[in-house]
Chain A
Amino acid sequence: MRCDFADLLLHSYFDSELSSVDAEKFGRHVERCADCGSELVNLDLLRDRLQLAEIYEAAPASLRRKISAEIRPKAQTTPKSQPLLWHWLAAAAALFLVAIVLLRMSPGLRNDDYQAELAAEIVDAHLRSLQPGDVTGIASNDERAVKGWFDTKIKFALPVHDFTNHGFGLKGGRLELLEGRSVAALVYERNGRLINVFVWPTPGPDKSPRTGSQRGFQWVDWRQDKMEFCAVSDTAPADLEQLRQLIHSNT
């Protein structure tokens, strides 16, 4: 037998959807009604089961990537205002993940995979950079200050140069530690655009630059003096190449 009272009121009561007056009335009813009491226990058990089984399905990373790829600004657009430097460093923090991809890249990987993976990670990283969080790094256009900051934190001699004279202003840097490896991210500004240059030590021989672009991002990476460099931005490829040459000849 089921209590006539039970049907709708019971669920509304269970879901805290009754007004306080009704909830109180129904609460008094439940104290006397064994049917409703056991039904409430069952509802509780069911809710617990659903919660404990963790059947909530969060969105896969691929969905987030596709969405952010659709909404991200095209390379040609000019920002209305210059973003705050710390926003840039936050982006640098996120784009550092690009470096992780490069770190993990096996030499035999085809260029297509390399590009696709990189682009995907860039977009993901961009998304994550929009999330609030602690940003640590150094915001400075003083190459000695930036270098000094890095020197206490990484075990390789990072070349830090301000190329303001050539239109690439040094904005600062950031660092993360991953699997025991330090990856430095230098932040440059070119005509209001952010460029991240990721640098980490590598045992491999020098390698000529490889370039690519995906979804408006350009990247160029090369190896030189036991360091791997990867510059990423939405500037024109020519800008990136110019910066690469500047770094290359000053390293």
Chain B
Amino acid sequence: MSELDPEDRERFEQLVLPHVDAAFNLARWLLRRREDAEDVAQEALLRACRFIRGFHGGNARAWVLQIVRNTCYTWLEKNRPMELSVEFDEEVHQQSDATPESLAIAGDERERLTRALEMLPPRYREVLVLRELEGCSYKEIAGITSIPIGTVMSSLSRARRQLCAVLDGSPGEEANREM
């Protein structure tokens, strides 16, 4: 990267650096692989750095996460388009390495939840991560994901139900019944 204007650097350090964890966490859950997440989060953060003058105050975390999210989707389109093409097919769980079987033998609660989350389509995964792990409001989630608030609500509701169904060990069935 070319030399930064000192003012831009200061703004970046104040506005963006506090959200490096949030940026990585979102990328990790969207991409499901830590190595990919690190590369893409880095790309997104440097993009935020280049665009720092375009940020005119407001919610810095949401701004950073929006850039991370867009960068992740661009990356997925390029590298794993299959994952996005099935995003609204609620019966497809094969997009993840996780399967109900692997979930059943995952002894550790943390591992169980991780695999269950990874089985959700990216659009559901991201609203859950933003809401439950990042503590974002519906309005923030709508801003980050560029989807209307009503869709945020319905996605969250479906995402939670799917996650519960997956964790209960009967993916598909219960989800279908309830949807």
Question: Is the Cβ of A47 less than 8 Å from the Cβ of B132?
Answer: yes
Check A59 against B138 for contact (C-beta < 8 Å). Answer: no
From known contacts A8-B157, A15-B131, A55-B133, infer whether A42 and B164 are also in contact, taking CB-CB under 8 Å: yes
* A residues near B28, Cβ cutoff 8 Å: 57
C-alpha gap A66/B41 in the complex (Å): 11
Contact segment of B18-26, B69-77, B78-86, B87-95: B18-26
B34 at the interface (CB under 8 A from A): yes
The reply to whether the CB of A130 lies closer than 8 angstroms to some CB of chain B is yes
The residue of chain A having its C-beta at the shortest distance from the C-beta of B156 within the complex is A11
Write out the residue numbers on chain B whose beta carbons fall within 8 Å of the beta carbon of A63. 20, 24, 38, 41-42
Within 8 A of B (CB), among A1-26: 2, 7-8, 10-12, 15, 17
A44 → B minimal CB distance (Å): 11
| B49 CB → nearest A CB, Å | 6
B24-65 interface (Cβ within 8 A of A)? 24-25, 28-29, 34, 37-38, 41-42, 45-46, 49
A interface residues with partner B (beta carbon < 8 Å): 2, 7-8, 10-12, 15, 17, 42-43, 46-47, 49-60, 62-64, 66-67, 70-71, 73-74, 77, 79-80, 127, 130
Q: Please report B residues at the A interface, Cβ cutoff 8 Å.
A: 1, 3-4, 6, 9, 12-13, 17, 20-21, 23-25, 28-29, 34, 37-38, 41-42, 45-46, 49, 109-110, 112-114, 117, 131-133, 137-138, 150, 153-154, 156-157, 160, 163-164, 167, 178
Q: Supply 29 A–B pairs (Cβ within 8 Å), ascending by A.
A: A7-B154, A8-B150, A8-B154, A10-B157, A11-B157, A17-B138, A52-B109, A53-B112, A55-B113, A56-B25, A57-B37, A59-B20, A59-B21, A59-B23, A59-B25, A60-B38, A62-B38, A63-B20, A63-B41, A63-B42, A64-B20, A66-B42, A67-B20, A67-B45, A70-B46, A70-B49, A71-B1, A71-B49, A73-B6
